[in-house]
Each structure stands twice: as structure tokens, then as C-alpha cells.
Amino acid sequence: MLEAKFPEDPLPLIEITVDNTSHISLRDLKSCLLCANKPCTYICPSQVFEWEEDSLKINYSRCVECGACQQICPENIIWEYPRAGYGVTYHY
């Protein structure tokens, strides 16, 4: 039997230094209200986006900087790299 090269859960290999300012924002919340499937809430592997009542909550502190949100909603989600010293550090 082959041994796994990596642990089952990759998150222990990631350290996130959280800034007090979000690096993710929306151009227009009304667009989110009209969005039928709300794909950002299930395409993000770290569950950054969460729908609460009539608003989209952005838990930017969970972001692993994969860029999936920009691929699924490039017209409304504004994603920038976190400021220097913040964001994801990958450990190998």
C-alpha cells in the first residue's frame, strides 16, 4: 500500500495572517440579490462567501487566495492580493 505524501487535510499547511481590512469586495450587492444560483457560496473551497438573509457575508479571513471567486463571478467580485505581510503563507 502506498503511503500518502500529503496529509488528508491540506489546511494545516496553510498559515493565514489576517488584515483588519478585507481584500475582497463587491461591485454591487443588488447583483447578488438577483443571482439565482449564488455560485460563490459553493465554488469557494474555504467557504469565504455565505448568504445571510438578504446579504452576502464575506469571511475574508478564510481566503486561501485560489482565485475561484474571480473565475465564477468576475463582473461583481473584486479580489485583490492582501497587503504586504498579510494573507496566505504556504508551508511544505
Amino acid at 9: D
pLDDT in tens, the chain (92 residues): 445 555 556 577 888 999 999 999 999 989 999 998 899 999 999 999 999 888 899 999 999 999 999 999 999 999 999 999 999 998 87
Residue 3 within any structural domain of the chain = no
Residue identified by cell 467580485 is: 77
Count the neighbouring beta carbons within 10 Å of the beta carbon of residue 40.
Answer: 24
Q: Which pLDDT belongs to residue 79? A: 95
Residue 7 within any structural domain of the chain = no
**Is the CB of residue 81 less than 8 Å from the CB of residue 87?**
yes
Residue 42 within any structural domain of the chain = yes
Residue 47 within any structural domain of the chain = yes
Residue 17 within any structural domain of the chain = no
Q: Which pLDDT belongs to residue 2? A: 47
* Domain ranges, residue 79: 22-90
**CATH number assigned to the domain comprising residue 33:** 3.30.70.20
Amino acid at 34: L
Q: Which pLDDT belongs to residue 1? A: 45
Number of domains into which the chain is organized: 1
Residue 56 within any structural domain of the chain = yes
